[in-house]
Amino acid sequence: MKLHAIQTGSVRIKTAQVEGRGRGLRRRLGVFLDRNWTGWLPTYAWVIDHQEGVIVVDTGQGTHLLESGRSLHPYLRWDVAFRIERDEEIGPQLRALGIGPRDVKRVILTHLHADHDGGLAHFPQTEILASRGELRTASGWLGRVRGYLPNRWPSWFNPVPLDLAPEAFGPFAASRRVTSAGDVIAVATPGHTADHLSVLVEDQGITYVLAGDSSYNERLMLAGQIDGVCAQEDVARTTLRAIRHLARDRPTIYLPTHDPESAARLSHGRLVDASGPVRSSVDDLR
Q: Which fold has domain 2-285?
A: Metallo-beta-lactamase; Chain A (3.60.15)
Alpha helix (H) residue ranges in 34-188: 74-78, 90-96, 114-117, 132-137, 140-145
Helices (H) then strands (E): counts for the chain: 10, 12
Closest CA to 35 of 15, 21, 11, 19: 15
Cα angle 112, 57, 201; round to 5: 130
Average pLDDT value over all residues in the chain = 93
Task: Look at residue 67 in the predicted model and tell me its pLDDT.
Answer: 85
Helix (H, G, I), strand (E, B), or coil: what is residue 99?
coil
Task: Look at residue 281 in the predicted model and tell me its pLDDT.
Answer: 38
Task: Look at residue 152 in the predicted model and tell me its pLDDT.
Answer: 80
pLDDT tens-digit map of 219-251? 999 999 999 999 899 999 999 999 999 999 999
Task: Look at residue 286 in the predicted model and tell me its pLDDT.
Answer: 41
Q: How far apart are CA 158 and CA 154, in angstroms?
A: 9
In this structure, are strands 80-83 and 175-177 parallel, antiparallel, or unpaired? unpaired
Task: Look at residue 149 in the predicted model and tell me its pLDDT.
Answer: 78
Closest CA to 198 of 220, 175, 181, 218: 175
Kindly give the parts of the chain with pLDDT less than 50. Answer: 278-286
Closest CA to 212 of 231, 184, 229, 190: 190
pTM of the model: 0.94
Q: How far apart are CA 196 and CA 179, in angstroms?
A: 20
